[in-house]
Amino acid sequence: MANGLSQIAIEKLDKNNFQVWKFKIMNFLMGKGYWEFVTSDEIEPPLPENPTQQQIQTNKTWHGKARKVLYWFSMSVFNSMIVHIQDAKSPKQAWDTLLKMYSTNT
């Protein structure tokens, strides 16, 4: 996996290490150029009723990148934590859920 978490050691998120995990995953995503997917800066490109091929491709590319970030999140949390983000529709939604749950607990 040339583009994944196996390149670095990120301790998986558990109930006790949110601040460390957050710092590491944030820097990982920034380094990969995907941080915008957990902030409000990167939003899904809308598709009009009759999209052009370019609009379809842009939307498809966005979804591919968003799925990659969600995959990285899923691989960087313990299985017991997956339940909290498994239904997230976007990386931002997953990130916001984890922030809400854990930033006040640690």
3-state secondary structure the chain: CCCCHHHCCCCCECCCCHHHHHHHHHHHHHHHCCHHHHCCCCCCCCCCCCCCHHHHHHHHHHHHHHHHHHHHHHHCECHHHHCCCCCCCCHHHHHHHHHHHHCCCC
CB–CB of 98/106 below 8 Å?
Answer: no
Per-10-residue mean pLDDT for the chain, 106 residues long? 62 92 95 92 86 94 95 94 93 94 70
pTM, two decimal places: 0.85
